[in-house]
Structure 1
Amino acid sequence: MTGFRTVVVGTGFIGPVHVEALGRAGVQVAGVVGSSPEKSIAASQRLGLPADYKTLDDVLADPTVDCVHLTTPNRYHFDQAKAVLQARKHVVCEKPLAMNSTESAELVRIARDSGRAAAVAYNIRFYPLCHEAAARVRNDSLGSLLHVTGSYVQDWLLKPTDFNWRVLAADGGELRAVADIGTHWLDLIQFISGRRITSVCADLRTVYPTRQRPTGPVQTYSGDTPADVATEPVEITTEDCGAIMLRFADGANGCLWVSQTTAGKKNCLRFELAGSKQSLTWDSQSPNALQLGNRDRPNESLVRDPAAMEPTAAAISSYPGGHNEGFPDTFKQLFRSFYGAIEKGILSDPAPYPTFLDGHHEILLCEAILKSHRQQRWVDVASA
C-alpha cells in the first residue's frame, strides 16, 4: 500500500492515532493539518511529518494526495468530507458522519457520484474477535438470534468540572454519549448480527445541566482541570448517560446502556448475543477473549489465535496466539481493509469497511433515539 499518499486533518486525541496506524498499515502519511497554520506546523514537527500543508485547502489543491482522513470536531465533518470528495480524493471520516441525516444523506450521494471510496472510522469492528463473532453468526453457530444486550461506558466526564467541546450541542450535535460512543456499539452489533435495528425506545439523562468550562484550552482524557485554571459555567443539553431498548429486523430485541459518567470505566464496550444454540460475550477491556455460552456442554473461552479462528477473523489478526492485539491495531486493520479495497477497485457498498451509507444509518438511528427520548415512546428508524 506504499503507493498511497494520505493527509490527516485534526491534531487532537484521534488524529495522531490515525497517523500512527496509517504508518503501520504501510500508507505514506504526507502531512497533518490542524485548525490553524501554527497548529499544523507544530503537529507536523511533533509527529515527525513534513510541514508542507498548513490548511485543508492546501491539501485539496495537491493532486498527489490520494486520500484525506478527517478527525476534526463533528460540526466540520459535512463541509470537509464534501470538499474532499469534490476534489476527487478518497476520504475516511471520524464518527458521527454529520450533524443530521440531511447532511449525511447528501454525503452518501456525493460519495456515490464521485467514484471515490468513503469510510467512517468505526474501528471497533476490527477487533479480530468481533469479526469472529460475525462469522459465527453467519455460519449458524449461534443459531437464531434471540436478543442482544450490552453497554459502552466511560468516566472521563464524571465530574461537573470535566469539559470538552463534545459536551456542547453546537459543536458535537444534540446527542453526545449516544453519538460519541453509543454509535460504535450500535454499528458493531449490526455488523456482527447482520441485522438492522428498526425501532428504538430511549430514556436519556443529562447528569450535569451545568458544567464548568476552562477559559483556556483542555485536552480530551487529560485528567482533572487544574484547580488554578479559571472556569465559567456553561449550560449543557447533551446527555451523559441513558438506556435504549432495541428491535431488530427479524424480531430479535435488545438493550444498550451508554454512559460517560461511570467511575472507573475508562473505555469499556461489552456485548452479549444470545442465540438459540449459543451465546457470544465480549468485553473491549479484555479484547483477546470471546466467551462462548452453551446449554448442554461446558462454556468455552476462545482466545484470539489466527490458527483457531474463522478465516475472516484470522485475516485481520497480525500476530500469533498469545501476542495480544488491542485498540491501535483496530485502526491499522480498518485502514488495511480500506486501502486494500481501493486497490481492488471496491469503492462503494457493499464494502469490507464501514461506508458512508453505514454512517448515514447511524445518524438516522440517533435521530430516532433523540425523538424517542423526547416523546417517551417507541420510534421507528427511517430507511437509509
Structure 2
Amino acid sequence: MTVRAGFIGGGFMGAVHTRAVRAARGELVALASSTPEKGRAAALELGVGRAEADAAALAAASDLDVVHVCSPNAQHAEHALAAIAAGHHVVCEKPLATTVADAERMVAAAAAAGVVGAVPFVYRYHPMVRQARALVAEGAVGTILTIDAAYLQDWLSHADDHNWRTDAAAGGASRAFADIGSHLCDLVEFVTGRRIARLTARTRTVYADRGGASVANEDIVALLVELDDGALGTLLVSQLAPGRKNGLVLELHGTAQSIRFAQERPEELWLGRREGSQLVLRDPASDAPDSARLSIVPTGHPMGYQDAFTAFVADAYAAIGGAAPEGLPTFADGLRAARLTQAVLDSAAAGGVWIDTPHEEKP
C-alpha cells in the first residue's frame, strides 16, 4: 500500500518530512502553509502534488492517509486534532503540544479514533543509538551509575537572532528544552530503558528582547536528573553555544564500561574501560539486529540525520499498515516530553526544587 501524505507547513521541517516520505515511497499529495501563496510556493518547491488553501482544508481532504504536522508549536494540537477527526493518521512534530493538557487530548483522540500518532524523536533512528541501546540491554555496560549529556546549538547566539520559536505565543512557554532538550531526555530514556524519576532545573533567558519583541521562553537549561534505578545525570541544553551546530551527546558510565554517542559523529560509538578505550564503527555485519536493520548502506558509506528521519517515517508508515516497529516514538512519547517540559518549568520557577516526574511505562 502506498501511503498518501499531506503536509501542514512548508518550512525547514516540512522539507525534511517531504524528503523522508519520498524516500519511504509515500505519495506527496497535498500541502498547506500559513497563506495560500506560501502553500503554492512550497508545494512547487518540494514537489508536492497540490496546495490546499489552509490547514483546515488539508486536514479535511479525503484523499489522504496521513497528515504531517510541521506548523508552529502552538498550532500542533489544533492541526493534529482536526486531522484525527477526519480519520487520518498523524505524524506531528515535537513538541507534540505546548501544554500537557493538549498533549493528553491528542493521545486520547488518536486512541479513540484508532489511528497512528507518531512524533519524530528521530535520533532513536541512528543505527549506533540502537547499538548503544542493545549494549545496555544485554548488560555490556553494567549498572549505569551516571549520565553526562548535552544538546548544544548556536543559532540564537546573537541578540538579533530570532524566529517564531522565540515568541512564546507561537513557540510555547519553553523553547530550548521543548525544542531540543526533549530530544535529549527521550534519548536518555530510550537508550537506558529507564525513566527520569526526578529532576531539578535552572533556566536562563539571556536576551530579553529579540527582533524588537520581548522574549518569555528560555535560551539555556541546566538539569540534574535521577533515574528510577538511582543513576544520576547532568544535562545541559543551550541554543547559545558558539560553534556548536547540533551537538547532541549522550555518555553513560556503567560499572563495566562507559559508552558515548555524539550525533554529529553518528557512525561511531566510544566505549571506555579502565583498561583502555575503543572506537566502534557502524557495521551491520556485526551490530545488533535492531541496529543492522537501520543500516541501509554498507560500512564506510556514511549515514546521517536525513537517513534517520527516513527510517522513522518508514516505521510510522509500517505502523499505519498494521505493523509494530520496534522503538517507534508515538504520541505517548510526545506526552512524556510535555510532562518533562512542565516539570522543568515548574522546578525553575521555584528556584530549582526537585520535581517528581510521572511514571509511565518504559519505552
Tell me the TM-score range normalised by the shorter chain. Answer: over 0.9
Q: Which secondary structure state, in structure 2, belongs to the residue aligned with residue 299 of structure 1?
A: strand
Amino acid at match of 1:382: P
Structure 2 partner of 1:252: 231
- Cα distance in 2, alignment partners of residues 340 and 371 from structure 1: 38
- Cα distance in 2, alignment partners of residues 267 and 351 from structure 1: 26
| Counterpart check, 1:113 vs 2:112 | yes
Structure 2 partner of 1:360: 335
| Counterpart check, 1:326 vs 2:304 | yes
Q: 2:220 aligns with which of 221, 241, 248?
A: 241
- Cα distance in 1, alignment partners of residues 114 and 303 from structure 2: 34
Q: Which secondary structure state, in structure 2, belongs to the residue aligned with residue 360 of structure 1?
A: helix
Amino acid at match of 1:368: A
> Is contact 2:21-2:313 (8 Å) kept?
yes
- Cα distance in 1, alignment partners of residues 311 and 146 from structure 2: 29
From the superposition, tell whether residues 52 and 15 of structure 1 become closer, same or farther in structure 2 (CA, over 3 Å). closer
From the superposition, tell whether residues 236 and 52 of structure 1 become closer, same or farther in structure 2 (CA, over 3 Å). closer
Q: Which secondary structure state, in structure 2, belongs to the residue aligned with residue 88 of structure 1?
A: coil
Over aligned residues, Cα RMSD in angstroms?
1.4
- Cα distance in 1, alignment partners of residues 48 and 120 from structure 2: 22
In structure 2, the gaps of 5 or more residues are none
Deviation at 1:290, TM superposition (A): 0.5
- Cα distance in 2, alignment partners of residues 327 and 140 from structure 1: 28
Deviation at 1:317, TM superposition (A): 1.2
Amino acid at match of 1:361: R
TM (normalized to structure 2)? Answer: 0.96
Deviation at 1:87, TM superposition (A): 1.0
Question: Which shifted more, 137-146 or 321-330?
Answer: 137-146
TM (normalized to structure 1)? Answer: 0.91
In structure 1, the gaps of 5 or more residues are 214-232
- Cα distance in 1, alignment partners of residues 62 and 167 from structure 2: 36
Cα shift readout 1:92-130 (whole Å, capped 9, x = no counterpart)? 000001111111111111111111000111111111101
Q: 1:312 aligns with which of 282, 286, 290?
A: 290
Identity of aligned residues (%): 37
Cα shift readout 1:288-325 (whole Å, capped 9, x = no counterpart)? 111011123x3111111211211000111111100000
Structure 1 partner of 2:94: 95
- Cα distance in 1, alignment partners of residues 164 and 206 from structure 2: 17
Matches within 5 A, 1:1-384: 3-211=2-210, 213=211, 233-296=212-275, 298-346=276-324, 352-376=327-351, 377-384=353-360
- Cα distance in 2, alignment partners of residues 79 and 351 from structure 1: 29
Amino acid at match of 1:353: L
Q: Which secondary structure state, in structure 2, belongs to the residue aligned with residue 306 of structure 1?
A: coil
- Cα distance in 1, alignment partners of residues 5 and 258 from structure 2: 41
Aligned residues: 359
Deviation at 1:151, TM superposition (A): 0.5
